[in-house]
Structures are given as structure tokens and as C-alpha cells.
């Protein structure tokens, strides 16, 4: 099932990108170059606090690249990396993964669907040190333009595959990131 979801998202993304070159919205039709339609964004996070296991510190990075099939429709791919340190119990670990996504803009608002594959420690079985976990994130956000190509974005996504005893502490994912 998980592979089929990933294959469907990728098929839609590549079909849209291919159609860009063969349809009315091709580079030659609207005068835009390929690089004008390439989209970059990046975000990150840093936090510290106290949780069920004592004090913690974390940081994360989220670089993204995408392609504007039309002014409203974007296909993309992001990579994520997070590092966690629980100093009170002497535990540190990291998570990393990738996620193809589709985004559609309604003026400054947008809707997004993202299939994430995250490698993390297995909290339920220490015989398997790491394994992949899947997330299907659906949600939306707001983009505040800054200059000709830039924007500050705020987004909230919900994991429809969330499991309460899994590796993720919440089905919600919130992001603030910059795009250009």
C-alpha cells in the first residue's frame, strides 16, 4: 500500500512536469525559462524544553526543491534531518528522510499533500536499531511574498497514517520556511 501511494504521487508529479513541456504552459509558450520555474526553499528549527524523559534539545533542517508546472501547481521534493539530545538520560538520536509533494496555490493560500519516508530509531524493538516510517501529510498554508520571487511561508499538515504508539509524538506538523 505504501509503495503504491508513493508511486502515485511520483507519477502525478512527473506527468505534470512532462506536460509542462508539451502543453500550452510550456517554457516556450509563456516565455519563462526552465530555471525561472525551479523553486527552492529551506527551513529549520531549534528547540529546547522538558518532556517525559527530562530536558531535551533538538534542531532540524528542511531543504526543498520544486518545479512550478503552472503558476498555481508545484511539484517538489524535500529532505529532512532532525537531531535530538535528551541530556538527563544520556540519549541522542537523529531522524532523516525524504518526501515528494504536490502543492496548489489559491492566491497566497495553498494546499499540499506530501508522502514522507523517515528513518529513525525503533522505540519498540532495540534489536532493529533503525527503520523507515511512513507519513501521508495533508494540509495547507499561507505564503507572504517578499520581493519578486521570495516568500515567507507558514504551513500546517496532518498525518493521516499516524499511529499513537509510533515514533512521532503528534500527527501534526507545523513549518515556517523561506522560498525563492
Q: What is the pLDDT of residue 13?
A: 42
Written as tens digits, the pLDDT of the chain (180 aa) is 444 444 444 444 443 333 333 344 444 445 578 988 999 999 988 888 887 778 889 999 999 999 999 999 999 999 999 998 988 888 888 999 999 999 999 999 999 999 999 998 876 666 778 899 999 999 999 999 998 889 999 999 999 999 887 778 789 999 999 998
Q: What is the pLDDT of residue 91?
A: 83
Q: What is the pLDDT of residue 123?
A: 66
Residue 131: CB atoms within 10 Å: 13
Q: How many whole angstroms separate alpha carbon 122 and alpha carbon 102?
A: 29
Q: What is the pLDDT of residue 16?
A: 39
Closest to 64 (Cα-Cα) out of 52, 48, 51, 80: 80
CATH class of 2-179: mainly beta
Q: What is the pLDDT of residue 63?
A: 97
Q: All 3 cell numbers of residue 147?
A: 520581493
3-state secondary structure 75-105: EEEEEEEEEEEECCCCEEEEEEEEEEEEEEE
**Confidence (pTM):** 0.76
Amino acid at each position: 500500500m505504501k509503495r503504491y501511494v508513493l508511486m502515485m504521487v511520483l507519477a502525478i508529479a512527473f506527468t505534470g512536469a512532462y506536460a509542462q513541456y508539451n502543453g500550452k504552459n510550456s517554457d516556450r509558450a509563456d516565455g519563462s525559462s526552465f530555471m525561472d520555474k525551479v523553486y527552492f526553499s529551506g527551513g529549520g528549527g531549534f528547540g529546547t524544553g522538558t518532556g517525559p524523559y527530562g530536558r531535551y534539545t533538538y534542531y532540524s533542517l528542511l531543504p526543498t526543491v520544486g518545479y512550478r508546472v503552472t503558476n498555481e501547481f508545484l511539484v517538489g521534493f524535500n529532505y529532512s534531518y532532525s537531531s535530538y539530545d535528551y541530556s538527563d538520560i544520556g540519549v541522542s538520536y537523529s531522524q532523516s528522510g525524504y518526501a515528494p509533494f504536490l502543492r496548489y496555490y489559491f492566491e497566497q493560500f495553498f494546499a499540499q499533500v506530501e508522502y514522507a519516508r523517515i528513518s529513525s530509531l525503533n522505540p519498540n524493538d532495540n534489536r532493529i536499531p533503525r527503520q523507515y516510517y511512513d507519513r501521508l501529510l495533508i494540509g495547507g498554508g499561507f505564503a507572504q511574498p517578499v520581493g519578486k520571487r521570495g516568500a515567507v511561508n507558514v504551513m500546517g499538515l496532518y498525518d493521516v497514517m499516524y499511529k499513537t504508539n509510533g515514533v512521532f509524538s503528534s500527527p501534526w506538523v507545523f513549518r515556517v520556511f523561506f522560498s525563492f
